[in-house]
Amino acid sequence: MSRLTVTYFSRCLMRNTTFEMLMPDSRQAGKPLRTLFLLHGFSCTAGCFVPEHLAEQYQFAAVCPNGENSFWLDGLSTGHQFCTLLGEELPAYLRRTFGICNNAADTSILGMSMGGFGALHTGLRYPQQFGQIGAMSSALIVHEVAQMQPGTGNEVANYDYYRECFGEPSALLTSDNNPEVLADKLLAAGTALPEMYLCCGTEDGLLDRSREFHQFLDSRRIPHEYHESPGDHDMRFWGEYTEKIVRWMFDR
Amino acid sequence: MSRLTVTYFSRCLMRNTTFEMLMPDSRQAGKPLRTLFLLHGFSCTAGCFVPEHLAEQYQFAAVCPNGENSFWLDGLSTGHQFCTLLGEELPAYLRRTFGICNNAADTSILGMSMGGFGALHTGLRYPQQFGQIGAMSSALIVHEVAQMQPGTGNEVANYDYYRECFGEPSALLTSDNNPEVLADKLLAAGTALPEMYLCCGTEDGLLDRSREFHQFLDSRRIPHEYHESPGDHDMRFWGEYTEKIVRWMFDR
Amino acid sequence: MSRLTVTYFSRCLMRNTTFEMLMPDSRQAGKPLRTLFLLHGFSCTAGCFVPEHLAEQYQFAAVCPNGENSFWLDGLSTGHQFCTLLGEELPAYLRRTFGICNNAADTSILGMSMGGFGALHTGLRYPQQFGQIGAMSSALIVHEVAQMQPGTGNEVANYDYYRECFGEPSALLTSDNNPEVLADKLLAAGTALPEMYLCCGTEDGLLDRSREFHQFLDSRRIPHEYHESPGDHDMRFWGEYTEKIVRWMFDR
Amino acid sequence: MSRLTVTYFSRCLMRNTTFEMLMPDSRQAGKPLRTLFLLHGFSCTAGCFVPEHLAEQYQFAAVCPNGENSFWLDGLSTGHQFCTLLGEELPAYLRRTFGICNNAADTSILGMSMGGFGALHTGLRYPQQFGQIGAMSSALIVHEVAQMQPGTGNEVANYDYYRECFGEPSALLTSDNNPEVLADKLLAAGTALPEMYLCCGTEDGLLDRSREFHQFLDSRRIPHEYHESPGDHDMRFWGEYTEKIVRWMFDR
């Protein structure tokens, strides 16, 4: 397995950004290589949380971008375009540089917590780019953010932070930053949705958020995998499900 | 010269941050080592723009933090505290880890463009930490930002970006984000200001901003070096003055 | 936990070398910090194989040098002085730069396979620097190498490789590259030996080498921990014993 | 310009190796990209000594491998195969991973001092891979090494070092480690030699080595560029000629 650290100038961020990458050494020239995007959580940083032996076994590249604390969305300010980075800029860069990431059939996306939200949101925003979504312990917090008033916030961050990331809270539920809106648009247009695998630990404070999104998908008869099992909002649970989801994605 | 890449968890950013560092190999255990902070410009990234031979000659450590496009200020949102990072968090980290950066007499700060603004602002905000300021081609744009109205911006970025970085534009000129306010507060309190060296190229679009700040300092009878010479907003000019300012800082 | 990548010019190697480092963020200025050297195996590379939570719990720095395939010895050629690097140059660098690694009481060394050999050899060569040795699945192959004739070698490498690393095979058993010679010298001089913890998996092809060294230590009545348990020459076994040995080193 | 750091498992070295890379951001998918290998000197380390603006202007990738102090040769010991790494393993890796480095017409090689020797030797050993050679201040020392006796050496390194890198000194002048032998073999086989550009500073202690190789090439009527001008064995001279040679390579 090769390990790459790549720094390029991002127009979406208006500055350099760095991503980490895992690439099978034994890649064959003519043969396409599948790619898995890995999205980290809030207060975390790019890192390959897929074990090397899985990337070896299924022969895929792992791409780990830095999302800072952006919720992987296009924020209000110039240079905070993390969703466009994930769905357009970075795939184009990878296509140009490595010849990978050519279409939805060969590109998947997986994240935990803020990254679980990002995987669902980005996959539903760019279904022509991402064929499969894995979302663990997802911070599906748009309904909470939509209630926020100027001067408020929560124990994690202040109102200005949430407004910068999600846009005006009062307009959030009907905006493209709400994954439900994106799913409904795809259904209305008759566009195929990415395959989805959601999971959450039963001790996780975000469990109800996953249940609600599961119910939303059921209400639209959108097929998806949904799993709960004992576990908390931690690496033990994510290690267990990273392996399960990677096998679900590539074992076919 | 040793080169170090250091990643630590920043409470100011609520996530990991990485800085680059140059450290003389021949440092002696008991002997203190001077430190120079280097602040990059807009759309740039941490990098040591001081030539190694100067750090070798004057035996100082160079510390190059990543300021993203923050204007090195504490922004409105949680986790955008770049000024506190520069003035408190990072010096404390360096003191704890390397035994350097102990006081204003052994710590200097130098930047260009956005980093020139940052050097002036941070040095005047933390005169007990920074004894000398070098500010090249500084983006002293608070008077322009103060005029911005919602929905506007300029060719570089939108209103939301400037508001996030500088706070409410209408309150900017009297806020601590305005270096003039900081200088006046130090004068009123009778606190010694850091030594300052300002320069700008005569072909630089930001020349008037440096002239105005030079005049402001003169109007308060604050001693400082001020230099103009032929040059543009580019590395050629900054290379020339980086050497001049480093010699001004350490050659005594 | 901070992560550092440090590149310095090594006189022992006559070129730059890079080591990785883990350092507790919450280190207190006046309080000393213990240090654990981690030595990788043949065909491997510097990497912190101690889990962060252990370094956090016991508040130690982990230092991971690159030993290439040197068996952590001073080879015949100029610039192949890996043992001197470990025992003198790098501790002096760490003392100068971070104020750590001051004596045997605050410095330990742990490795696996080639790194297990290196930990034993370096610790016995520099008992004034390393107070504790952890040696897992150690490649204690000096008796095999001592038999090699020009033109031979084994399935891993050729005769020239072994001669370069270990010196003339015919002189090896009585040279300072043989850990047994070092132990006997310390006993003869009445110098205290480092504390030692040896382990090997019962399925490991190198098991007999550990048993023989265990018997050698017993024959000299040198106190040491020795453990065998089911396991192979792999990360599963090393993960289990890294935790056990770290607790044995620091849990007192 | 993107900057990449790539670590892969090298069979030639029997361990991981890391190279640095510069890659134009604006590379077009279908269009081939030319590649320039950059070989560092003795006691140095991988680093891109070509200015970014030149790589931008001529749109080439720069690949900077780590040659340690190997003289870029296949040494006697297992795992010291730096020439095979340069001429076979690394081009194959780059072809597989980036789709570059496909033939002699799109691959050039440039180095200084030990790297100048390496560029000449590797280019003449693999003319099907390297179409152009740039050799600055080359350490063409095979005639000196060929005279060395066991127990001797010079002020740089001992006999064992030279024997490990160059093979038995007594056999060196007729071996494939001698660039003259390689050139004569290509002439005998009627194979086209790479284009060559040699230069050396008139104050450089290695000047006579370049003059002798220049005369050797003339004696075989092998066309090549040869330039002397005022300068020493230092970065000032190499900066000047790096630009000249890059323009000679790509400006057509």
pLDDT in tens, B136-175: 999 999 999 999 999 999 999 999 999 999 999 999 999 9
Write out residues 88-117 of A within 8 Å (CB-CB) of D: 93, 95-99
Full-model pTM: 0.96
- pLDDT (tens digit per residue) in A60-81: 999 999 999 999 999 999 999 9
Q: Please report where in the chains the tokens 């015919």 appear, as a residue.
A: C170
Please judge whether D28 and A96 are an interchain contact, meaning their C-beta atoms are less than 8 angstroms apart.
yes
- In chain D, whose CA is at the least distance from the CA of A28? D96
How far is B214 from chain C, CA to nearest CA, in Å? 39
Query: What is the pLDDT at residue D171?
Result: 97
Please judge whether A2 and D98 are an interchain contact, meaning their C-beta atoms are less than 8 angstroms apart.
no
CA C23, CA C168: separation in Å to the nearest integer? Answer: 40
CA A142, CA A180: separation in Å to the nearest integer? Answer: 10
Helix axes C179-189, C114-125, angle to 10 degrees: 20
Give residue A29's pLDDT band: very low, low, confident or very high (50, 70, 90): low
CA A83, CA A71: separation in Å to the nearest integer? Answer: 9
CA A35, CA A21: separation in Å to the nearest integer? Answer: 10
- pLDDT (tens digit per residue) in D192-227: 999 999 999 999 999 999 999 999 999 999 999 999
CA C111, CA A60: separation in Å to the nearest integer? Answer: 31
Q: Please report where in the chains the tokens 């370096």 appear, as a residue.
A: C122
Query: What is the pLDDT at residue B26?
Result: 78
- In chain A, whose CA is at the least distance from the CA of B43? A15
To test the contact with chain A by mutation, choose from D96, D98, D101 the residue with the greatest count of A C-beta atoms within 10 A, namely D96
HEC letters along chain B: CEEEEEEEEECCCCEEEEEEEEECCCCCCCCCCEEEEEECCCCCCCCCCCCHHHHHHHCEEEEECCCCCCCCCECCCCCCEHHHHHHHHHHHHHHHHHCCCCCHHHEEEEEECHHHHHHHHHHHHCCCCCCEEEEECCCCCHHHHHCCCCCCECCCCEHHHHHHHHCCHHHHHHCCCCHHHHHHHHHHHCCCCCEEEEEEECCCCCHHHHHHHHHHHHHCCCCCEEEEECCCCCHHHHHHHHHHHHHHHHCC
Query: What is the pLDDT at residue C43?
Result: 93
Query: For strand B2-10 and strand C2-10, is the pairing parallel, antiparallel, or unpaired?
Result: antiparallel
| C43 chain-D contacts, CB cut-off 8 A | 9, 14-15
Q: Please report where in the chains the tokens 């970075």 appear, as a residue.
A: A90
| Structural tokens at position C216 | 């050698």
How far is B37 from chain C, CA to nearest CA, in Å? 18
Chains C and D touch, using 3 or more CB pairs below 8 Å: yes
Query: For strand A15-23 and strand B60-64, is the pairing parallel, antiparallel, or unpaired?
Result: unpaired
CA D23, CA A93: separation in Å to the nearest integer? Answer: 11
Please judge whether A7 and D4 are an interchain contact, meaning their C-beta atoms are less than 8 angstroms apart.
yes
| B157 chain-A contacts, CB cut-off 8 A | 14, 77-79
- pLDDT (tens digit per residue) in D230-248: 999 999 999 999 999 999 9
Of the partner residues D9, D28, D29, the one whose CB lies closest to the CB of residue A25 = D9
- In chain A, whose CA is at the least distance from the CA of D26? A96
Query: Has residue D29 got a pLDDT over 70?
Result: no
Q: What average pLDDT does chain B have?
A: 96
> Is B16 an interface residue toward A (CB < 8 Å)?
yes
- In chain D, whose CA is at the least distance from the CA of A2? D8
Q: Please report where in the chains the tokens 């119910």 appear, as a residue.
A: A215
Please judge whether D8 and A2 are an interchain contact, meaning their C-beta atoms are less than 8 angstroms apart.
yes
Query: What is the pLDDT at residue B30?
Result: 62
| A161 chain-B contacts, CB cut-off 8 A | 77-79
CA D52, CA D23: separation in Å to the nearest integer? Answer: 9
Q: Please report where in the chains the tokens 């890996």 appear, as a residue.
A: C82
How far is A201 from chain B, CA to nearest CA, in Å? 24
| D164 chain-C contacts, CB cut-off 8 A | 76-77, 160, 164
| A16 chain-B contacts, CB cut-off 8 A | 44-45
| D19 chain-A contacts, CB cut-off 8 A | none
Spans of chain C below 70 pLDDT: 29-30
Please judge whether A158 and B78 are an interchain contact, meaning their C-beta atoms are less than 8 angstroms apart.
yes
DSSP state at residue C110 = E
Please judge whether C97 and B8 are an interchain contact, meaning their C-beta atoms are less than 8 angstroms apart.
no
Show the DSSP H helices in chain D as ranges.
Answer: 52-58, 82-84, 90-98, 114-125, 142-146, 159-166, 169-172, 179-189, 207-219, 235-250
- pLDDT (tens digit per residue) in A76-98: 999 999 999 999 999 999 999 99
ipTM of the complex: 0.94
Query: Among positive and negative, which fits the CA dihedral C35, C36, C42, C45?
Result: negative
Closest to D224 measured CA to CA, from D200, D247, D246, D195: D195
- pLDDT (tens digit per residue) in B78-123: 999 999 999 999 999 999 999 999 999 999 999 999 999 999 999 9
Please judge whether A3 and D6 are an interchain contact, meaning their C-beta atoms are less than 8 angstroms apart.
yes
